[in-house]
Amino acid sequence: MFDLNNKTFNNIVSPTVSGEEAVDFNAVNINTYNNLSPLFKALIVSTNNGGKYALKVIDKDKGFYFNYREGGLSIKVPLTAIFNTNDKIRGILGVAFSSAKFCPSRSRGLCQLDSPELCYAYTGERQGSKKSYNYLMGMGSYLNALLSEYYFKLFYQDAEVRHTFYRYCNYYNIDTLRFNLKGDFKDTADIRCIEYMADMGLNLTGYTARDDLRPYLLDMINKHDNIILNGSNIMYTNQFRAVNSILEYLTAENQCLGGCLKNGCLNCYKLHDALITVLIHGKEAGVDLKTADNIHFLTWLFKQAELPITTADFKSGKNLFNNIKNAFKKHDLYAEVPDYFLKLTKKGNIVFDSQSAIIQYLRHLIRTNNINLNQYRGINNE
């Protein structure tokens, strides 16, 4: 963890505002603050006791917040308003420089996905809390681009904020920051921010499709051995490739398993010079994956595992994953599926936990039944 005694802090401190009025979290109405910045309005809603991102009691008691001041008003902002805790892997914090809806890479035609509906970050934003200011403004589930504009200014200018951040990381055993949780780098200023965090002693990992910023990004990873940059269809530290072929994904050397904490996969946090393959898994993935090739492969795979699922089970609807769920229900097969891959719905039905859980179950079938996928390739190429 961090050794505060060996760190040199900048003496520049953000100026105080005389006559500050503390914002009443419980009785706030953002319409009364129209003269303030969108950031301040977003912070009011997102730190409101009734909002999704209310300041945790433990964070408040430990002083893990900073005072944001604007226009004679003061608001206590939890560090998680900037650094989002990542439940995929413990010990990880995450930050977004932009939103998925307004992704800089997509706007430049650099995204390898044909539709934003295939992007899990875009899908996740649209499922955000309706109490979030950014959701109401159509920007997604949290502060994203609004906060990133102010993000590192706090660290550049306020020693107290940096000191609080170090204490926060030590308390929660944080050693890694994951950047570009959604969206991408907006410009070279964001790259300098990542370098600054690397100089503070954090390990950093993240993703980018910004091939147009290649000279700056290569310079960044060449200078810092504690930064792992996974390029989307581009080789930086690693290359991340999204595919819509289930067979291609399952036979790839390095597979992104999804659900990092649950599956224990650390490929994009640890590997170097690797091609990492991920199966598309946004909202419309089940539609995009419902191809003749995938259905042919799946029916062969289920036959090898002696499960009575045939091509007829894939004729209804447009979503491949819904077809699989319905087929398991129709043939009463859920009893044969390990609980690890299942969940109980509010209606009391047992179903697969997620799209990722279905794919992981396919890997389980291959492993436990000793199925040779090269055999399928041979049959398919005859």
Query: Could you report the per-residue pLDDT of 209-234, keeping only the tens digit for each?
Result: 999 999 999 999 999 999 999 999 99
Residue 137 scores a pLDDT above 50: no
Rg (CA), the chain: 23
Among 130-139, 279-288, 302-311, name the one with the lowest average pLDDT.
130-139
Confidence class for position 369, pLDDT limits 50, 70, 90: very high
Residue 150 confidence (pLDDT)? 61
Residue 284 scores a pLDDT above 80: yes
For residues 41-52, average pLDDT: 57
DSSP state of 265: -
Contacts of 8 (CB under 8 A, 6+ apart): none
126 or 363, which is more confident? 363
Confidence class for position 273, pLDDT limits 50, 70, 90: very high
- The two tokens of residue 59 are 């964070």
Residue 125 scores a pLDDT above 80: no
**In the chain, where does DSSP find H-type helix?**
38-46, 57-62, 104-107, 120-126, 133-136, 145-157, 159-171, 188-199, 214-223, 246-250, 260-263, 267-270, 285-288, 292-304, 320-330, 355-368, 373-380
Note every long-range contact of 280-283, with CB atoms under 8 Å and residues 24 or more positions apart, other chains counting. Answer: 280/113, 280/118, 280/242, 280/243, 280/244, 281/120, 281/355, 281/356, 282/113, 282/116, 282/117, 282/118, 282/119, 282/120, 282/122, 282/123, 283/117, 283/118, 283/122, 283/123, 283/126
- The two tokens of residue 108 are 């430049």
Pair 139, 88: CB distance under 8 Å: no
Pair 359, 279: CB distance under 8 Å: yes
Residue 102 confidence (pLDDT)? 80
Confidence class for position 39, pLDDT limits 50, 70, 90: low
Confidence class for position 25, pLDDT limits 50, 70, 90: very low
For residues 179-193, average pLDDT: 86
Decide: helix, strand or coil at residue 299. Answer: helix
